[in-house]
């Protein structure tokens, strides 16, 4: 997985990461601030064995060996030591005392003491009293001392001070560790969720099944109940996304030279018909003659989507009941023409794969500059494969948060098996907060009224320059024209 793919997963599943981060940091904060503060302090003692009644010519002191010091460390928390230590610091019998010791490796006879307690004064008292208590009970654990009647003396080197800040808990450290743990947990869960997700969410999911380019992402505004089209919202993010898809598809068309594409999807309900209609409208604005064919003879919906008559169409021509020029409908006063499906036949696959269909398509390809065919879905039926043989390529529409990964994999596999010319993929129904439209928006026309009329800019997009007198009005057919001011 590349870094870009990693970032795409995090961007898609950021809520999981944020939730885990907040949860773990919250738990760490709660545990930190409910713990009893513990104060820790340190002291050190030098231990030596002394003969209280030395003979003449002998040394009154003896060096305590490291083995003896380790013995004292081993018995430090025994009842023999803890009982007199509690009495020395004035705590009740049975009260636990947290005290430990270690041997200084660099110097002989030095014992390092560490004491901890919720009471800082008590911690300091414990650390300062341990040496004397050990000196009193040491002869019980050292054979040499008891045999020679020697006395162990503890000289304090470094007294323990009263600590001002607790050694635990450490809020900063705990919160940082909690944040790191929450971040790692969130990232892990995000990738687990991504792996187990059965639906296509973004471009990363699509690239797992095909290397064909992503030609466009079409946003959806879930706050709107109506179908967004170029005519209803010519300046919105969806319109700009369709134009971007049109531009990318035209670049692909340069390599094919057939000037025709079919638009299909893996399964029904993924928005292929709406995408085809809006793409055809966008194609028509480039000035060429564009033909939109409803090639879905099983469930035709182009006529219903565009609100035009669909009783006579492609099947009518293929059955020889009418000429193609008689059933092709022009969309308003644009260069877009529509050939609806006509009556639903009992043998759609046979009709689409027939010789009359090929001859009809060749004839239409010579009459129009660009042809788009709304095709049935790939997985349920074979019709899209038959239409791909006629057109220059196939545009596969994938519905974000709707298309299942297994259906996409099946569609791509079927197209590859028959050698279909898959040109690219368009991701449909991308939530507005995940699409590029939220970041870039669109640019409105800022020229003069005359320039607006010449370019066909919509009336609402015109912003007259300061000092100009040009005005824009709509004619009887809804077109933007310039009027002299």
Q: Is the pLDDT of residue 436 over 60?
A: no
DSSP symbol at 367: H
Which residue shows structure tokens 């947990």?
185
- Which pLDDT value is given to residue 146? 65
CA 138 → CA 60, 146, 150, 269, 481, distances in Å? 18, 9, 10, 87, 109
CB 281 within 8 A of CB 231: yes
Q: Is the pLDDT of residue 223 over 70?
A: no
Alpha carbon distance 247, 145 (integer Å) = 97
330 forms bridges with which residues in the sheet? Answer: 337
Specify the DSSP element, H or E, that contains 247.
Answer: helix 237-256
Stronger pLDDT, 365 or 68, i.e. the higher one: 365
pLDDT tens, position by position, 334-378:
999 999 999 999 999 999 999 999 999 999 999 999 999 999 999
Domains of the chain as residue ranges with CATH: 3-35+169-187 (no CATH), 39-158 (3.30.70.1130), 197-440 (3.40.50.300), 449-483 (no CATH)
440 forms bridges with which residues in the sheet? Answer: none
pLDDT tens, position by position, 120-171:
999 999 999 999 998 888 878 877 666 667 788 889 999 999 999 999 898 9
Specify the DSSP element, H or E, that contains 215.
Answer: strand 214-220
- Phi, psi angle pair for 70, to nearest 5°: -65, -30
CA angle 290, 309, 237 (to 5 degrees): 50
Average pLDDT for the chain: 84
- Which pLDDT value is given to residue 140? 82
Alpha carbon distance 370, 399 (integer Å) = 25
- Which pLDDT value is given to residue 99? 94
Model pTM score: 0.61
- Which pLDDT value is given to residue 452? 39
Q: Is the pLDDT of residue 381 over 50?
A: yes
């Amino acid at each position: 997985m590349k870094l870009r793919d990693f970032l795409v997963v995090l961007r898609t599943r950021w809520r999981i990461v944020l939730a885990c981060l907040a949860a773990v940091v919250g738990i760490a904060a709660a545990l930190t601030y409910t713990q009893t503060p513990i104060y820790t302090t340190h002291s050190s003692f030098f231990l030596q064995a002394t003969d209280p009644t030395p003979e003449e010519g002998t040394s009154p002191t003896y060096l305590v060996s490291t083995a003896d010091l380790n013995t004292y460390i081993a018995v430090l928390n025994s009842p023999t030591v803890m009982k007199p230590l509690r009495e020395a610091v004035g705590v009740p019998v049975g009260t636990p005392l947290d005290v430990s010791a270690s041997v200084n490796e660099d110097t002989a006879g030095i014992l390092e003491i560490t004491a901890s307690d919720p009471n800082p004064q008590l911690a300091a008292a414990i650390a300062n009293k341990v040496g004397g208590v050990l000196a009193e009970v040491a002869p019980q654990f050292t054979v040499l001392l008891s045999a020679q009647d020697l006395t162990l003396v503890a000289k304090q080197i470094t007294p323990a001070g009263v600590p001002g800040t607790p050694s635990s808990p450490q809020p900063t450290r705990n919160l940082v560790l909690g944040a790191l743990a929450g971040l790692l947990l969130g990232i892990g869960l995000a990738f687990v969720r991504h792996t187990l997700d059965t639906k296509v969410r973004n471009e990363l999911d699509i690239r797992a099944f095909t290397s064909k380019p992503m030609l466009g992402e079409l946003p959806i505004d879930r706050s709107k109940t109506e179908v967004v089209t170029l005519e209803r919202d010519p300046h919105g993010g969806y319109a700009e996304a369709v134009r971007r898809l049109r531009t990318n598809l035209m670049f692909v068309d340069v390599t094919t030279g057939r000037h025709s594409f079919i638009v299909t999807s893996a399964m029904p309900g993924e928005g292929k018909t709406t995408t085809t209609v809006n793409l055809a409208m966008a194609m028509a604005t480039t000035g060429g003659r564009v033909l939109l064919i409803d090639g879905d003879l099983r469930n035709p919906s182009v006529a219903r989507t565009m609100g035009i008559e669909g009783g006579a169409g492609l099947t009518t021509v293929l059955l020889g009941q009418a000429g193609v020029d008689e059933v092709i409908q022009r969309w308003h006063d644009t260069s877009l023409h529509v050939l609806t499906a006509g009556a639903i036949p009992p043998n759609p696959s046979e009709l689409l794969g027939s010789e009359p269909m090929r001859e009809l398509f060749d004839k239409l390809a010579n009459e129009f500059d660009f042809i788009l065919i709304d095709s049935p879905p790939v997985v349920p039926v074979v019709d899209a494969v038959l239409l791909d043989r006629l057109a220059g390529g196939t545009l596969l529409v994938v519905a974000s948060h709707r298309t299942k990964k297994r259906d996409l994999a099946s569609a791509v596999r079927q197209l590859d098996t028959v050698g279909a010319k898959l040109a690219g993929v368009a991701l449909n129904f991308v939530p507005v907060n995940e699409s590029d439209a939220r970041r870039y928006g669109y640019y409105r026309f800022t020229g003069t009224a005359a320039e607006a009329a010449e370019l066909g800019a919509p009336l609402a997009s015109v912003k007259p320059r300061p000092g100009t007198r040009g005005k824009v009005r709509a004619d009887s057919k809804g077109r933007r024209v310039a009027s002299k001011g």
